[in-house]
């Protein structure tokens, strides 16, 4: 896959989704877990890579000394600036750029975090290496994303690529474990949780044609009691709910 073309697709997709993505309440779930597991303090200098609309960036800024958010999509950073203003936060700066390579010095940040981004990276190992490089010794590395067992990856990816063509591929637990068991990382911890999203809310937040919406709707509603997609679809009072399996991975730079 050509990286330049892939990055252009990411920009295209998230320029369309910028406003609707921020509006999905589920994307604000479990932020307190990230803060707790990162053990953020007023001494911390934080980097949020692929920060999107700034949901995580702004949350960390409430507890840290300073936070930098970097993303490749201007539309997302425009939304991030609105969120910063709404929260009256003055300790954030935003950078429009790619994350490989990161434009920062070695050992510059005490916390380096990213959420819901690794499934978009075709070179996630390089991204992780860059996160480690710019993190201080004994600093915190945190990656949060969907994690699927091997046997559910293919169908999950089929679903997500209909919804968002910039989806590169979900990672398995084994893939994340391999990253965090690298020699540069110590004191690794992980925490699993589910992120529930109502089906129509998810469809409306995605930039889809009516044909794509119907195809995705059928795929998901037919997965009740099967869980071939790995998102534990259920139906409550006539509404369908997706439960994305999310894992928070965190460790210290050795």
Tens-place pLDDT, residues 36-63: 999 999 999 999 999 999 999 999 999 9
Q: Does 52 map to a domain?
A: yes
Q: Is 16 exposed, middle or buried (0-12, 13-18, 19+ CB in 10 A)?
A: middle
Strands 185-198 and 234-236: unpaired
For residue 17, pLDDT over 90 is answered with no
**Cis amide prior to 101 (ω within 30 degrees):** yes
* Alpha-carbon gap, residue 170 to 117, rounded angstroms: 10
* Alpha-carbon gap, residue 97 to 148, rounded angstroms: 29
* pLDDT for 21: 76
pTM: 0.95
Q: Does 205 map to a domain?
A: no
For residue 22, pLDDT over 80 is answered with no
Q: Is 94 exposed, middle or buried (0-12, 13-18, 19+ CB in 10 A)?
A: buried
Looking up residue 100, the CATH number of its domain turns out to be 3.40.50.150
Q: How many domains does the chain contain in total?
A: 1
* Alpha-carbon gap, residue 8 to 15, rounded angstroms: 10
Range of the domain at 187: 3-149+165-194+246-253
Q: Does 207 map to a domain?
A: no
Give the distance, in angstroms, between the CA of residue 18 and the centroid of all CA atoms in the same chain.
Answer: 14
Q: Does 136 map to a domain?
A: yes
* pLDDT for 216: 98
Q: Does 203 map to a domain?
A: no
Q: Does 186 map to a domain?
A: yes
Q: Does 235 map to a domain?
A: no
For residue 134, pLDDT over 90 is answered with yes
What is the pLDDT confidence band of residue 18, given thresholds at 50, 70 and 90? low
* Alpha-carbon gap, residue 11 to 166, rounded angstroms: 9
What is the pLDDT confidence band of residue 108, given thresholds at 50, 70 and 90? very high
Q: Does 7 map to a domain?
A: yes
């Amino acid at each position: 896959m050509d990286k330049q073309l892939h990055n252009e697709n990411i920009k295209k997709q998230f320029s369309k989704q910028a406003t609707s993505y921020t509006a999905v309440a589920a994307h604000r779930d479990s932020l307190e877990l990230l803060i707790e597991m990162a053990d953020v303090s007023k001494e911390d200098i934080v980097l949020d890579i692929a920060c999107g609309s700034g949901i995580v960036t702004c949350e960390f800024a409430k507890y840290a000394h300073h936070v930098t958010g970097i993303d490749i999509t201007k539309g997302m950073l425009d939304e991030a600036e609105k969120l910063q203003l709404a929260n009256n936060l003055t300790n954030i700066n935003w950078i429009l750029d790619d994350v490989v390579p990161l434009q920062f010095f070695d050992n510059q940040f005490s916390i380096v975090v990213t959420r819901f981004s690794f499934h978009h990276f075709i070179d996630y190992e390089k991204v992780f290496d860059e996160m480690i490089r710019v993190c201080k010794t004994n600093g915190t590395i945190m990656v949060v994303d969907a994690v699927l067992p091997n046997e559910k990856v293919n169908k999950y990816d089929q679903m997500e690529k209909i919804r968002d063509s910039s989806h590169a591929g979900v990672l398995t637990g084994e893939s994340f474990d391999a990253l965090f068991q690298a020699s540069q990382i110590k004191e690794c911890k992980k925490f699993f949780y589910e992120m529930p999203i109502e089906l129509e809310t998810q469809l409306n937040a995605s930039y889809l044609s009516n044909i794509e919406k119907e195809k995705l709707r059928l795929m998901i509603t037919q997965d009740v009691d099967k869980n071939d997609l790995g998102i534990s679809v259920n139906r409550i009072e006539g509404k369908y709910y997706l439960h994305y399996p999310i894992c928070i991975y965190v460790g210290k730079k050795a």
